[in-house]
Amino acid sequence: MNRLPRRSLFTASLVLPLLPRIAMAQGTAWAPTRALRMVVPFPPGGATDVVARILAERMQEKLGQPVPVENRTGAGGNVGVENVVRSVPDGYTLLMGTTGTLTINPHLYNNMGFNPATDLAGVSMAFATDHVLIVNPSVPAQTAQEFLALVKSRPGQLSYGSGGNGSSTHLVPELFKLVAGVDMQHVPYRGSAPALNDTVAGNVQVMLDQLPSALPMIQAGRVRALAVTGPQRSKALPELPTMKELGLPQAEATSWGAIMVAAGTPQAAIDRLNAVIRESLAEPTTQQRLAGAGADAVSSTPVELAATIRSETEKWGRVVREARITVN
């Protein structure tokens, strides 16, 4: 399975693209005259929400207009996505799309009423983040190797929480289960933040959460971190092994977020938003804030983003089929 080549494909693209510069020189640049809004299709406190608020703050300063974040939850993120799909395509409504909402849900929901591939237009990648394997402190496993032995000895007895059916925090554990040959019970929540809270409380024992939302709980000692899913050890948690180091290279996975707008949005608006996002993500301060939250700043052109979405849609479609995942 192909993983998102975030370090190779997008790191080099953290520069201001030429197209918006040309547009501005020709006097055709788009400039907002009122507040924008950024829709996050998950509850506050999750990884997507954390990154969205950091980026929205920088965009607000550069655009000279407020960019409030709106959390519109439900149906695995589909409620928030549809809100943007049905919005006026004028550049004033942005979506922080995710791996789950853009590339996984189309394989799970037959009645979404919209198609992310045709009803949304990509602006830029925004971030990428590893998932981290965490357990409640009551779980008798101090290392990832001990956890693998434990879960193999107790098939179906441990439960893991996710941000909902079809979310990345659902599919990444399912990929882990397939590759490791283990079984855990899935408990879906309305967002990763409540799933994390229940992992802390011990109502579920395991979670493969995104780093930005899990990191504060790890640092506070409220959950025990055992491994990360990225291609390299995390700078935030360098002591943790990767899935490859555990002998599970096919369980490697990266989640990401991207700014999208409704299809039909004028190209001048997309160009301007792309330029502002890339400028914001290129700033050392923004990169440091995201890194401190456990995420990598990752930008792209709209064309690069479209290619990534196509590749990831194919990858997670295979996981859905092989794991026989359905939405209740």
pLDDT at 22 over 60: no
pLDDT class for 328, splitting at 50, 70, 90?
low
What is the CATH number that goes with domain 6-129+255-323? 3.40.190.150
* Count of other CB atoms within 10 angstroms of residue 317: 15
Query: 219-230 pLDDT, tens per residue?
Result: 999 999 999 999
pLDDT of residue 74: 87
CA distance to 86, 136, 247, 306, per residue, from 117 (Å): 14, 38, 35, 9
State in words which class domain 130-251 has: alpha beta
Same fold flag, 6-129+255-323 and 130-251: yes
Cα(273)–Cα(299) distance, integer angstroms: 12
| 173 has a pLDDT exceeding 70 | yes
In this predicted model, what pLDDT tens digit does every residue of 180-197 receive, in sequence order? Answer: 999 999 999 988 889 999
- CB neighbours of 146 closer than 8 A, spacing ≥ 6? 140
Beta bridge partners, 133, equal: 208, 227
The token pair at 200 is 């802390």
User: Which residues lie across from 208 on neighbouring strands?
Assistant: 133
Percent of the chain with pLDDT over 90: 76
**pLDDT value at position 327?**
80
pLDDT digits (tens, 9 = 90+) for 292-302: 888 899 999 99
The pLDDT of 86-93, averaged and rounded, is: 98
Question: Residue range 228-256: average pLDDT?
Answer: 95
pLDDT, tens only, 304-323? 999 999 999 998 999 999 88
Q: What pLDDT, on the 0 to 100 scale, is given for residue 28?
A: 60
Give the pLDDT score at 29.
Answer: 86
Whether the per-residue pLDDT at 136 is higher than 50: the answer is yes
Residue 61 has pLDDT above 50, yes or no: yes
Q: Residue 103 pLDDT more than 50?
A: yes
Q: Give strand ranges (E) for the chain.
A: 37-40, 69-71, 93-98, 120-135, 159-162, 185-188, 206-210, 224-228, 254-262, 296-297
Separation CA 123–CA 120 (nearest Å): 10
Take residue 244 and report the two structure tokens written for it: 């490859």
Predicted local confidence at residue 18, as pLDDT? 45
**What pLDDT is attached to residue 168?**
87
Q: How far is residue 74 from each of residues 9, 40, 86, 191, 313, measured CA to CA in Å? A: 32, 11, 16, 9, 21
pLDDT band at 52 (very low <50, low <70, confident <90, very high): very high
- Average pLDDT estimate for 169-178: 94
* Cα 167 to Cα 119, 126, 304, distances in angstroms: 20, 18, 23
pLDDT at 2 over 70: no
Residues 82 and 198 sit within 8 Å (Cβ to Cβ) = no
- Name the band, by pLDDT with cuts 50, 70 and 90, for residue 3: very low
Stated pTM of the model: 0.80
DSSP 305: H
**pLDDT the model gives residue 130:** 93
As a whole number of angstroms, the distance between CA 196 and CA 44 comes to 12
CA angle (151, 155, 159) in 5-degree steps: 70
Among 173, 171, 288, 291, CA closest to 226: 173
Which of these, 102, 37, 116, 25, lies nearest to 71 by C-alpha position? 37
Q: How far is CA 41 from CA 49, 83, 188, 315, in A?
A: 9, 9, 16, 22
What's residue 47's pLDDT? 82
Per-domain residue ranges of the chain: 6-129+255-323, 130-251
Residue 110: the pLDDT is: 86
